[in-house]
Amino acid sequence: LGVALCLVLALPAAAQEVRLPAPQTKGALSLEQTLAQRRTWRSFQDDPLSLAQISQLLWAAYGVTGHKGSRALKTAPSAGALYPLDVYAVVGSVPGLAAGVYRFRPQGQALLPLMAGDRRQAAAQASLGQMWAAQAPVMLVITAEYARCTQRYGERGVRYTHIEAGCVAQNIFLQAEALGLKAGIIGAFRDQALAHALRLPSGHAPLLVMPVGRGR
């Protein structure tokens, strides 16, 4: 027991996974309305987002919607169902969730803490100083681990990975609208600086940053 207790205590607190509320599959707005309303937003109120809203946005982005054998299938299409992307949440203001950087774990609808502390300003700074993005209570970051796709498809896997990131981004846009929220999208950032600011694992290349919150 003593050894077990020591092992538990030795684990960094940051390793604790956060289970998210179950996502909903019904909403108040039609798909057509969300498409008609969608715009890139660049000004946000400093209202917090709820854990349920974060959960819903992450599920829409890359959540599990079915299975084919033992393989999970997701909200976004993926060449060969290889799913080379990850979605990170740069959390600033979400009651019940400490500010920090988290990795979304689709299987289990959970967040894995990577880094403690509010990294929104650092992420906006790395985004060529687009500081408006740091107003949003949460920034979602889509990253690619190309090898998951290129080991089957070679160089063409890079193209497939980028196309998939676009699908995920649109899912986030439409879900934000359906929740009465707004999203921005940023492709202009310094790759290394952003990866460093968020302590992304090596091999996870950031592709898009999407601030989400209540629009101003």
Ligand X SMILES: Cc1cc2nc3c(=O)[nH]c(=O)nc-3n(C[C@H](O)[C@H](O)[C@H](O)COP(=O)(O)O)c2cc1C
DSSP annotation string for 90-158 = EESSBTTB-SEEEEEETTTTEEEEEEES--HHHHHHHTTT-GGGGGSSEEEEEEE-THHHHHHHTTHHH
Instruction: Report the nearest approach of ligand X to the CB of residue 81 (Å).
Output: 24
Residue 107 binds ligand X (CB under 6 A): no
- Please report whether residue 185 would count as binding ligand X according to CB under 6 A: yes
Which part of the chain contacts ligand X (CB under 6 A), choosing from 6-14, 37-45, 65-73, 100-108? Answer: 37-45
The 8-class DSSP code of residue 173 comes to: H
- Angle between helix axes 51-62 and 156-178 (nearest 10 degrees) is 140
- Asked if residue 187 binds ligand X (CB under 6 A), the reply is yes
Quote the least distance from Cβ 184 to ligand X, whole Å: 6
Q: Which stretch binds ligand X (CB under 6 A): 18-26, 108-116, 142-150, 185-193?
A: 185-193
By rule CB under 6 A, what count of residues binds ligand X?
8
The smaller minimum CB distance to ligand X, of residues 97 and 197, is found at 197
Of the residues 16, 24, 40, 65, which one makes contact with ligand X according to CB under 6 A: 40
Distances (CA, A) of 83 to 54, 58, 76, 90, 167: 21, 15, 9, 21, 12
- The Cα–Cα gap between 35 and 87 comes to 22
Of the candidates 42, 73, 98, 110, which one interacts with ligand X according to CB under 6 A?
42
Residues of span 109-168 touching ligand X by CB under 6 A: 130
Q: Which residues bind ligand X (CB under 6 A)?
A: 39-40, 42, 130, 185-188
